[in-house]
Every structure is written in structure tokens, then in C-alpha cells.
Chains A and B, each alone.
Chain A
């Protein structure tokens, strides 16, 4: 079946360094992608999204890259801070689909 998955379940990064979290998707019909951040014991928080007519989108310290050729999505966090430590999920859907499909998540730990 269709799925969204992550390459790395855990990632440790030194504070101040940049981090990259990757996500692979298999549904070629997907045209909308979202990254969420989930801190321990809390609900997921929207970070940034991108539609399939774009390759790159930037937010505050975050950039999402979309490579439709290889069905790959990444989240780059610049100048990481201790507050960036969390689990990051990618999610995908397409126009007409009522549901989001979530990946398993990557745990990012920022080392002081």
C-alpha cells in the first residue's frame, strides 16, 4: 500500500549546527506535504508545508525541500537550539483525499 516513511528514526545534532530530517513517500499522487513537530506529551505542532508545484519553501530557520522525481521530502533546521529537540513527522495527502498519511517520526536531539 501507499506509505510515508522516514529514513532515520533518531538524529543527534550539536547545538548551533544545522540538521536535516528526511522523509520518503510512495504515493505519486500526493501533492501536499506537511512537517509537524511533537514535543514530549504534547500534540503535533505545524511547522511548514509545501505543495507539489514547489521545490523549496522557507520559514523561520526551517526549509522544506521536495524532490518529486525520487519522492523525497526533507526538513532543514538551521542553527539548532535546545528547543528544537522533539519528534518530527512528515505527512502527505492529495486534493480530494480527506485524510493525512503520517510517517513514523524522527526523534531529533540537540546536544548542548
Chain B
């Protein structure tokens, strides 16, 4: 998983509850990404950040929020507005964004709704 950690491995959410997924990298990468993966499906981009204090919506940002206060950290909050949050969430990073670089992934967090 190359220096990218995600926690927790499993997370349970109650109805109406906000939960935050952690992503940390020690690769000194500028760009970080959050993806959602549903069973048997590919990856869909939620949010991404090219530099500290800056982030952009991906393809499925509704019901999610992020922050990028530090270069090494990019937490994702799944809000109560996300009506179908059960999925596998993957964080990734790359040295820079927009120049055709490889993204490296963390081990993922599986979110389940109680």
C-alpha cells in the first residue's frame, strides 16, 4: 500500500450520522483522491485535491465533504445527506495532478450502515 494508510478498516454508520474516514500519506505527494467502489464495479471519483487548502468535486461528490489542511492528510466525511453510503472507500495519492502520473492507493475503508 506504499505509504498510504486509511483508518478504520471497517466503519459502521447509524442513520442520520456523519462519519469521517481518515487518509494519511508519507510519500510527500501533492495530490490526493477519494474514490468509492461498489461491489463488482469500478472506481468512481468523489473528491480530489491538488495542493493543500484546495480541493475539487469529482463525479459523485453529493453527500460527501473533504478538507486538506495538511499535505499528508485528506479526510473524507460521509454526511447524512448521502443516502446510500455502503461501499468500499479508497484513498489515493500521486506526486502531482494533471501530468499523467500514477496514483497509489491505500488499503481502503469499508463503510456499512446499521
Q: Which residues of A contact B104 (CB under 8 A)?
A: 46
The one of B42, B56, B100, B107 that contacts A32, using a Cβ cutoff of 8 Å = B100
CA distance A41 to B6 in the complex (A): 13
CA distance A102 to B50 in the complex (A): 19
* Count of CB-CB pairs between chains A and B under 8 Å: 57
Known A41-B108, A89-B42, A104-B41: A98·B102 in contact at CB below 8 Å: no
CA distance A94 to B98 in the complex (A): 8
Give the interface size class of chain A. Answer: 20 to 34
The one of A42, A93, A100 that contacts B108, using a Cβ cutoff of 8 Å = A42
Q: List 26 A-B contacts (CB under 8 A).
A: A31-B100, A36-B105, A41-B110, A42-B107, A42-B108, A43-B90, A43-B108, A44-B43, A44-B90, A45-B105, A46-B104, A89-B42, A95-B98, A95-B100, A96-B98, A96-B99, A97-B98, A98-B31, A98-B48, A98-B56, A99-B58, A100-B45, A102-B42, A103-B42, A104-B42, A105-B42
**In the complex, given contacts A42-B107, A98-B56, what are 14 additional A-B residue pairs having Cβ atoms less than 8 angstroms apart?**
A34-B103, A42-B108, A43-B1, A43-B90, A43-B105, A43-B106, A43-B107, A51-B100, A96-B99, A98-B50, A100-B45, A100-B103, A103-B42, A105-B42
